[in-house]
Amino acid sequence: MKVPRVRTYVPGLDEILYGGIPERNIVLVSGGPGTGKSIMAKQFLYNGIVKKDEPGVFVALEEHPVSVVRSFKHFGWDITKYEKEGKFAIVDAFTAGIGSTAQKEKYLVKDPDNVGELSSVLREAIKNTGAKRIAVDSVSTLYLNKPAMARSIVMQLKRIIAGLGCTAIFVSQVSAGERGFGGPGVEHAVDGIIRLDLDEFEGQLYRSIIVWKMRDSKISMVRHPMDITDEGIIVQWDKYLRITNLKAEAEPLPKEEIEEMKKAIEETEKIEEESGKEIKVKEIEEEE
Ligand SMILES: Nc1ncnc2c1ncn2[C@@H]1O[C@H](COP(=O)(O)OP(=O)(O)OP(=O)(O)O)[C@@H](O)[C@H]1O
């Protein structure tokens, strides 16, 4: 059976996911400092609103809500407009209500250590905006001081998010050079893992992305070069990054794989088009 896909519209990412993220999947975007995790989470939300009219909620645990908005705007993504229209909301789990901007926040979590409070504020934000896409940045903050609780915290959020029909990106911070993705409890609890990396060779930094797992989906089995530009993240889906002890080199993917990825995107587009038609027919029937 074909699983409905949530397209990220991050250039090249849907290709290496063979169509996009399966609906209701919770995806860990894991990586070291400065690898582009936050940008990817923001791009996923912004694209959903602009390209599909799907509202989104950003759970801010690492940055002040003012900085969150500023970093959206850095890429020309005017999120304030959609916040005013009620299609976007920030859950402030950062300020603990301290400061004048914080007190104006509609969705404030006073104690981010209290997962119950976070869950109920998140649920309210999802219901009010009609959100389809969620980003939690970063989920690691929630269990930094209590690693034994990581799995149950992630499962609690997953139940709410998937239960309300949403698809999510959970940002997971790991140390530079660490091989894991955020601890065994979390890695097995989530539905997908995307890993972002930054590696140095001969004084030059190379960005790359690899999809480690994605339930109900075929995935590209190679590391792809990735760029961060003024328009956000671009994945070079038709190339793979060959890393040896001494160097990193981008090489073209085999033709058959490129064709298969293209076909997966075309199929997703066709399914979307058909379901769009179905909705229109239903609307007309209801009007009659
Ligand atoms: N316009 C741009 N062009 C190129 N690179 C950019 C641009 N804007 C930001 N970056 C790069 O993106 C990186 C930050 O990305 P991001 O904030 O998503 O990292 P992160 O993985 O969330 O890191 P951390 O875990 O440390 O918060 C910066 O190090 C910066 O070099």
> For residues 160 and 84, what is the distance between their CA atoms, to the nearest angstrom?
25
Is there a binding annotation on residue 35? Answer: yes
Residues 102-153: pLDDT tens digits?
Answer: 666 789 999 989 999 999 999 999 999 999 999 999 999 999 889 999 999 9
> For residues 132 and 126, what is the distance between their CA atoms, to the nearest angstrom?
8
Mean pLDDT of successive 10-residue stretches along the chain, which has 288 residues:
91 98 98 97 98 97 96 97 97 87 80 94 98 97 92 96 97 90 90 96 94 97 97 97 90 94 94 75 60
What pLDDT was estimated at residue 37? 98
Is there a binding annotation on residue 31? Answer: yes
Residue 39 C-alpha to ligand 1 middle, in angstroms?
A: 7
What pLDDT was estimated at residue 282? 61
What number does the ligand 1 atom closest to the CA of 229 have?
3
Provide DSSP, 261-285: HHHHHHHHHHHHHHHHHHHHHHHHH
> Which DSSP letter does residue 253 get?
P
Q: What is the pTM of this model?
A: 0.94
Residue 274 C-alpha to ligand 1 middle, in angstroms?
A: 37
Domains within the chain, CATH numbers bracketed: 5-287 (3.40.50.300)
What number does the ligand 1 atom closest to the CA of 173 have?
25
Residue position matching structure tokens 């059976």 = 1
Residue 55: how many other CB atoms lie within 10 Å: 23
Type of residue at 21: I
What are the distances in angstroms from CA 206 to CA 104, 174, 201? 41, 18, 8
What pLDDT was estimated at residue 245? 84
SS3 206: strand
ipTM of this complex:
0.98
Contact residues of ligand 1, CB 6 A cut-off: 31, 33-39, 173, 228-230
Answer yes or no: are the C-beta atoms of 233 and 227 closer than 8 Å. Answer: yes
**Torsion sign over Cα 220, 222, 223, 227:** negative
> For residues 123 and 78, what is the distance between their CA atoms, to the nearest angstrom?
24
Answer yes or no: are the C-beta atoms of 89 and 58 closer than 8 Å. Answer: yes
Is there a binding annotation on residue 99? Answer: no
